[in-house]
Structure 1
Amino acid sequence: MYEPPQGLYDPFLPEPREAGSYAPPADPDELPHLPRQGAGTTPAEELTETPHEPLAPLADPAGEPEGERAGARRSARRKRTGDRPDALRRLVPQALVVAFLAGGTSAFIVSDKTVRLNVEGSSRTLHTFADDVEELLADENMSLGAHDAVTPGHDHGLSAGDEITVRYGRPVALTLDGEHRRVWTTARTVDGALRQLGVRAEGAYLSTSRSASIAREGLDLDVRTERTVTFMADGRERTIRTNAATVHEAIDQAGITLRGQDTTSVDPDSFPREGQTISVMRITGSQEVREVPIDFTTERRDDPTLFKGTEVVAQRGEKGVERVTYALRTVNGVKQKPRKISTETVRRPTTQIVKVGTKAMPTAVQGADGLNWDGLAQCEAGGRPNAVDPSGTYGGLYQFDVRTWQGLGGKGRPQDAPAAEQTFRAKKLYVSRGASPWPVCGRKLHG
């Protein structure tokens, strides 16, 4: 038998009545919102209804038995039912509508679930018809980003009593032991973020308190974990635990003092790493100044007044002088290679200029050709064009002095001139003075 839910009004149930009283059934045509069923149904006002039989009064205990009275009532009801077939037909569809409404109400009650939604630690109870977490978030107009977290997951089917937790992502500009990176966390405090990121914070330096909250906009966080660093200084080894930002800061914590030019084997401003061994270098130094010669350059210039093969030094080159300052260092008692730190030019070098003859050399001199010039050259200089006598006064194949040479049109020194030019000048000298310039070897010209 259909029983309506507690508290739900059902228009098809009779009004409650007291025991022993009787209320006739309502006219079906007067029931609200229910249409009459079936084609050709007679309107309610045209129906002829048999009057209800009055109930016999209750007998006293000594009168008619209760069983006989009940039988009489059942007989009267059967009679009335048989007299009203149209009314019964109308009540059947109405009963079906009631059953449908009752089923919908049951489905409505089953779909409604009570869940708890916790957003960033703030919890509230919700009644929802959502099938899963994703639908619940949509109903609550909550759009989550790639770095936000929801537990259980978006596809989790909802049941009564479930708790859904939402945590928003927060960006953290993290500098961990000198290395910079951008990370995301759903923790709301610095301490929670460190634990979530797996950062070992015991003994570490933090730029922000561990209890500090992290806003949705994020924060900058500098973390320096505690590390073991070993220093070698003055023949001793010192190992410390430190969260220093620089090697120089760690040296101070180790009680080591740097003086003057003292330094370390790594950059003092660099970040000290776990297990690193750093040497302290004691440095003493001085400076030394040295003067260093600067070589001159040579410039060669063509001269059409000189015979080919003749080169004359028009300007002698001179070396310059450069003053160089060197740094002298001793590291832990060991002298280092001098290091040049500055230079200064004291005197610039002078360029040497050499004239090179381009004029064609004549070979014939009238009155001197046909003589034995090779024999004279062998006698005077052993046939060597660059020969110079022990006194340095005479030079060349024919032992000219410089004055005589230049008087014959020669340039520079005779021993620097080509052999052909020397012979040409010797022929000119013979034409003007004969063999007298060669008092000993002159006879070779005719022999």
Structure 2
Amino acid sequence: MSNSQYETFGLTGTSFEDRESGEQPPYGAGSPDRGGYVDTYRPAYEALAVSQAPTEPILPRQTQTLVQTQTLGESAEEPRSGGRAAARRAARRRRTAERPDPLRRLLPQALVVAFLAGGTSAFVANDKAIELSVDGKARTLHTFADDVTELLAEEGVRVGEHDVVAPAPGTELTSGDEIAVHYGRPVRLTLDGQPHEVWTTAHTVDGALQQLGVRAEGAYLSTSRSRRIGREGLALDVRTERTVTIMADGRARTIRTNAATVGEAVGEAGITLHGEDTTSVPPGSFPRDGQTVSVMRITGTQEVREEAIPFRTTRTNDPSLFRGTEVVDRAGEPGTRRVTYLLRTVNGVRQKPRRVGDEVVREPRGQVVRVGTKPRPDSTQGADHLNWSGLAACESGGRPGAVDPSGTYGGLYQFDTHTWHKLGGSGRPQDAPAAEQTRRAKKLYVRRGTSPWPHCGSHLHG
């Protein structure tokens, strides 16, 4: 039996060997320096013996033990008949009676444990395990944040209008959620000759093309598809593959091309342009999908022609001439210009000549004309006082049948046949009588003044 068992039964301070040898220390003789304690326990049979002895008073603790023992229904005679076993049972009963109620002792501890457990439960409930991925770099963290916005603020992750956050900022968080942040990258995209400013969250050129919906199969790219796109972005030139039909030399060639110009597409079709050959659209223009381009074979020659330069007429007023009368003082002469023309044929069809240069060979000489401003007389009577004989002597020597050497003019006043007929005469003027010739000369003067006689007209007023 161990010492703890001895203590349980109130036997500390007396060894098992002592009890077996019959040497029993007196009650209360336990010594503390031997590792025991002063035992106040007294067996029931000893208590009864003491109660019968008038010389020793009953101790309060012993009286209590006796009362408890009797209360449990054991008679005072039982310890005497039970011996040591009965004494041990009585000691256990006494210790049990003295021990406080376990429920009362455990109640405060239970309250503390419950409080701590409740706080721990709340702590655990608010802590969330979140996987945060920023531009593809993922890490798992614990947070007390309530939503995505608060979590990003705690982690110092800034997002702009072109950045993508999934789930969206403001979404409530629960443990196990995954948050992804993709930063936007600017791309200066030139697509089929048209510039665009776009944003993408892709990390490579290939990913950006897919995200932007650009058909890259057969396309020309100014950089590698696998090139990574930094936060600063990049410039990208993309020319998608297009179908273009080239018409040349009576044949149609349809090709798939990502050429930058119509001229390049024509070359890819195996067509060579010579000399002045060109295309129906500017060779430097961007070829559109489904476009038809015609090649024009051009041959050209030059031709030089001489053309007249018309002269200018200068008119001056002459008060000595009747109104409506004009006298040419100096006849005009046209000039000469040498002009060079380009004669072209396009696909065998002659085109309209195109003027490409000119040179003046002779300058024109201007014509000078005097215009009468004198009022006309109402009748030939206004011309009777004029010196008609002086005019006739100057024009024909005063001979009514005179004719000039050319045969064009005749009579006293040298009429031409056309003028004579307009004045009402018939036949030839030189065949008419002198009086008729003078009358019709006066009529001519009323109409035109002295202009019909530019050299001798001055004699009328002499």
TM-score band, normalised by shorter chain: 0.5 to 0.7
**Which one of the candidate residues 277, 288, 299 is aligned to 1:273?**
288
Residue of structure 1 in register with 2:362 after alignment? 347
Question: 1:109/1:429 Cα in 2 relative to 1: closer, same or farther (>3 Å)?
Answer: closer
| CA-CA distance at 1:357 after TM superposition | 2.3
Q: Does 1:243 align with 2:265?
A: no
Q: What per-residue deviation string (whole Å, max 9, x for no partner) do you get for residues 340-387 of structure 1? A: 222333333333222122345676467679xxxxxxxxxxxxxxxxxx
Q: Does 1:76 align with 2:91?
A: no
| CA-CA distance at 1:169 after TM superposition | 0.6
| CA-CA distance at 1:78 after TM superposition | 5.1
How far apart are the structure 1 equivalents of 2:372 and 2:319? 6
Q: What per-residue deviation string (whole Å, max 9, x for no partner) do you get for residues 87-125 of structure 1? A: x9xx97x98677555433321221111111111122222
Work out whether residues 306 and 336 of structure 2, in 8 Å CA contact, stay in contact via their aligned partners in 1: yes
Residue of structure 1 in register with 2:218 after alignment? 203
Residue of structure 1 in register with 2:227 after alignment? 212
Which amino acid counterpart does residue 421 of structure 1 have in structure 2? G
**Which one of the candidate residues 155, 159, 169 is aligned to 1:140?**
155
Structure 2 portions without partners, runs of 5+: 9-37, 43-82, 388-405, 431-440
Q: Does 1:189 align with 2:204?
A: yes
Residue of structure 1 in register with 2:85 after alignment? 63
Work out whether residues 299 and 352 of structure 1, in 8 Å CA contact, stay in contact via their aligned partners in 2: yes
Which amino acid counterpart does residue 98 of structure 2 have in structure 1? A
Residue of structure 1 in register with 2:238 after alignment? 223
Deviates more, 1:72-81 or 1:327-336: 72-81
Question: 1:181/1:429 Cα in 2 relative to 1: closer, same or farther (>3 Å)?
Answer: closer
Deviates more, 1:336-345 or 1:302-311: 302-311
| CA-CA distance at 1:257 after TM superposition | 0.9
Q: What per-residue deviation string (whole Å, max 9, x for no partner) do you get for residues 318-343 of structure 1? A: 22222222111111111112122223
Work out whether residues 309 and 417 of structure 1, in 8 Å CA contact, stay in contact via their aligned partners in 2: no
Residue of structure 2 in register with 1:126 after alignment? 141
Q: What per-residue deviation string (whole Å, max 9, x for no partner) do you get for residues 177-200 of structure 1? A: 111111110111111111111111
Work out whether residues 414 and 422 of structure 1, in 8 Å CA contact, stay in contact via their aligned partners in 2: no
Kindly report which structure 2 residues correspond to 1:425-444, keeping only aligned pairs within 5 A, or say none: none
Q: Name which one, 1 or 2, has greater alpha-carbon Rg.
A: 2
Deviates more, 1:243-252 or 1:62-71: 62-71
Deviates more, 1:62-71 or 1:114-123: 62-71
How far apart are the structure 2 equivalents of 1:143 and 1:55? 78
Q: What per-residue deviation string (whole Å, max 9, x for no partner) do you get for residues 210-265 of structure 1? A: 11111211111011112222211112222222111111111211111111111111
| CA-CA distance at 1:424 after TM superposition | 13
Structure 1 portions without partners, runs of 5+: 1-17, 23-52, 83-87, 370-388, 401-412, 433-447
Which amino acid counterpart does residue 291 of structure 2 have in structure 1? Q
Residue of structure 1 in register with 2:351 after alignment? 336
Residue of structure 1 in register with 2:271 after alignment? 256
Q: Does 1:419 align with 2:447?
A: yes
Residue of structure 2 in register with 1:43 after alignment? none
Q: Does 1:288 align with 2:310?
A: no
Residue of structure 2 in register with 1:391 after alignment? 408
Which amino acid counterpart does residue 350 of structure 1 have in structure 2? R
Which amino acid counterpart does residue 63 of structure 1 have in structure 2? A
Residue of structure 2 in register with 1:39 after alignment? none
Q: What per-residue deviation string (whole Å, max 9, x for no partner) do you get for residues 2-30 of structure 1? A: xxxxxxxxxxxxxxxx99999xxxxxxxx
Work out whether residues 294 and 319 of structure 1, in 8 Å CA contact, stay in contact via their aligned partners in 2: yes
| CA-CA distance at 1:306 after TM superposition | 3.3
Which amino acid counterpart does residue 175 of structure 1 have in structure 2? T
The structure where helix makes up a greater share of residues is 2
Work out whether residues 227 and 241 of structure 1, in 8 Å CA contact, stay in contact via their aligned partners in 2: yes
Residue of structure 2 in register with 1:113 after alignment? 128
Work out whether residues 327 and 341 of structure 1, in 8 Å CA contact, stay in contact via their aligned partners in 2: yes
Measured on the aligned residues, the alpha-carbon RMSD in Å equals 4.2
| TM-score normalised by structure 2 residue count | 0.64
Kindly report which structure 2 residues correspond to 1:151-170, keeping only aligned pairs within 5 A, or say none: 151-170=166-185
**Which one of the candidate residues 358, 378, 392 is aligned to 2:373?**
358
Work out whether residues 246 and 252 of structure 2, in 8 Å CA contact, stay in contact via their aligned partners in 1: yes
How far apart are the structure 2 equivalents of 1:352 and 1:245? 62
Work out whether residues 383 and 442 of structure 2, in 8 Å CA contact, stay in contact via their aligned partners in 1: no
Work out whether residues 309 and 418 of structure 1, in 8 Å CA contact, stay in contact via their aligned partners in 2: no
How far apart are the structure 2 equivalents of 1:317 and 1:241? 68
How far apart are the structure 2 equivalents of 1:126 and 1:174? 38
| CA-CA distance at 1:151 after TM superposition | 1.5
Kindly report which structure 2 residues correspond to 1:3-22, keeping only aligned pairs within 5 A, or say none: none
How far apart are the structure 2 equivalents of 1:414 and 1:317? 30
Work out whether residues 325 and 451 of structure 2, in 8 Å CA contact, stay in contact via their aligned partners in 1: no
| CA-CA distance at 1:70 after TM superposition | 5.9
SS of 1:192's equivalent in the other structure is helix
Q: What per-residue deviation string (whole Å, max 9, x for no partner) do you get for residues 252-295 of structure 1? A: 11111111111111111111122222111111111111122232
Question: 1:321/1:217 Cα in 2 relative to 1: closer, same or farther (>3 Å)?
Answer: same
How far apart are the structure 2 equivalents of 1:157 and 1:80? 47
Residue of structure 2 in register with 1:9 after alignment? none
| CA-CA distance at 1:314 after TM superposition | 2.4
Which amino acid counterpart does residue 85 of structure 2 have in structure 1? G
How far apart are the structure 1 equivalents of 2:340 and 2:160? 66
| TM-score normalised by structure 1 residue count | 0.66
How far apart are the structure 1 equivalents of 2:365 and 2:6? 149
How far apart are the structure 1 equivalents of 2:316 and 2:6? 154
How far apart are the structure 2 equivalents of 1:368 and 1:306? 15
Which amino acid counterpart does residue 447 of structure 2 have in structure 1? A
Question: 1:129/1:424 Cα in 2 relative to 1: closer, same or farther (>3 Å)?
Answer: closer
